Amino acid sequence: MSISLEIQSLVRNELSLRADPVKAPKMQQYVKSPLPFYGVQSAGQKEVWRLARQKFPKLSWENYAESVKTLWFQAKHHEEKYIALYLLNGYPLHRVPEAMPLYETLLVSCWNWDLLDGIAGGSVGRLLLKDPTLESWLVKWSQSDNFWMRRAAIIGQLSLKEHTNAGLLFGFCEKMAHEKEFFIRKAIGWALRQYARTDPVAVKTFVEKMGDRLSGLSRREALKHLT
């Protein structure tokens, strides 16, 4: 059996042992997933991830990438995708430029915020801290017809604080300010609010400059901690 299938088997078995059929439908309804849930909440998911990490403390790049994709694309329950994200972020040695195509492959298959945000707001940002030249991927995503990819571009620098490319962030927000999609408007406000913790003056100035071009939702979110 391949390493990826060993990890998949371990994850499925351990999630099954922790399954809660009462919680499962409520969790599925909350994220509107087409996949059923085991009913395993965050603490249980972390336990499963730790067991997998202990059994496989090191993975080659090939086994790492294949294991992430196997868990993600062959998932029969939604929590298997969550464990795929733990795996994605759990091997820092594989946080290299070559990982960006893998991130993109996962992102384009996302159907909701709970999966996309963990990659775009977490994995992508950690890699950008190591190699800012990879910002070109965000530019590419900002031009996508898929609004989830455009959301990924906006929140890709969410955790970068003083390392944020403010010009790039403001440019994305201005470019997409006219969009009616809730998840784009929410992302704009969220990204601006996070950056306001680092440079509140810059965010205030941008919001004032945008005026009515910025939706009420985006404006409220951006200024939430500044008013």
Per residue in 99-113, pLDDT tens?
999 999 999 999 999
Rounded to 10 degrees, the C-alpha dihedral 170/175/177/182 comes to -100
Could you read off the pLDDT of 46-71 as tens digits, one per residue? 999 999 999 999 999 999 999 999 99
Residue of 103, 73, 88 lying closest to 5 (CA atoms) = 73
Burial of 168 (0-12, 13-18, 19+ CB in 10 A): middle
* Average pLDDT for 5-17: 98
Question: How far is Cα 203 from Cα 214, in angstroms, rounded to an integer?
Answer: 13
What the block records as the tokens of 177 is 């300010």
Question: Does residue 227 have a pLDDT over 70?
Answer: no
For the chain, the 3-state helix, strand and coil shares in percent, each to the nearest 5, are: 75, 0, 25
What percent of the chain has pLDDT above 90?
A: 96
Strand segments, DSSP code E, in the chain are none
Residue 89 tokens, joined: 């972020």
Tell the burial category of 40 from Cβ atoms under 10 Å away from its Cβ (0-12, 13-18, 19+): buried
